[in-house]
Amino acid sequence: MAKPRLAILDACTVIDLHQLGLWNLVASRYEVLVTETVAAEADYFVENGITFPINLGASAAVVSIGAGAVARLRARFRPFYREMIHDGEAESLALLQERPDAVICSSDAIVFKALGALNDGDKCVSLQSLMKQIGERFVPRDYLHTDEFCARYVKEGSIDMQQGRALF
């Protein structure tokens, strides 16, 4: 069966999927892309005081994003947004600009706000939607993983863009 879409994951999503025991399922159903910075940031998680290493291995393609692509992305945003977008998020957003066939899954509000500001709100998904798109039932334990969280911050980013607070 063909994988439905490219999924660009940020560090928090990679870690969350491992903690929830869903990594192998998602990696088997999506073509998963992570940037080098995200791969470096998401190298372990801690549960009940025990540290578990994360080895992406062949289950995800680790992609290098040029500094120029990241700089061009950052240059589009006003300082407040630019400062809120961390390196892994900036690389993931730049990768999304290069891969229009992809979606990005995150639980960071700034990622959703940035995509709302860029008028790309249809290219971001919550963990809840990521699972729904492959026919898996998933009941989020955390508001950060919900469609509602995603939609709220996409809308905020869109409003910020319309009011001149997000983009140059």
The answer to whether the beta carbons of residues 73 and 115 sit under 8 Å apart is: no
The reply to whether 25 falls in a domain is: yes
Query: Which domain covers residue 42, as residue numbers?
Result: 6-162
The reply to whether 154 falls in a domain is: yes
CATH number at residue 32: 3.40.50
- Reported as a single tens digit per residue, the pLDDT across 40-94 is 999 999 999 999 999 998 999 999 999 999 999 999 999 999 999 999 999 999 9
The total of structural domains in the chain comes to 1
Torsion over CA: 88, 64, 21, 25 (sign): positive
The reply to whether 53 falls in a domain is: yes
Q: Dihedral (C-alpha) 105, 108, 113, 118: value to the nearest 10 degrees?
A: -40
- Reported as a single tens digit per residue, the pLDDT across 1-25 is 556 578 999 999 999 999 999 999 9
d(CA 31, CA 149): 24
The reply to whether 96 falls in a domain is: yes
- Reported as a single tens digit per residue, the pLDDT across 89-121 is 999 999 999 998 999 999 999 999 999 999 999
Which whole-number Å values give the CA distances from 21 to 44, 123, 126, in the listed order?
A: 14, 25, 17
The reply to whether 60 falls in a domain is: yes
The reply to whether 168 falls in a domain is: no
- Reported as a single tens digit per residue, the pLDDT across 137-161 is 999 999 999 999 999 999 999 999 9
3-state secondary structure of 30: coil
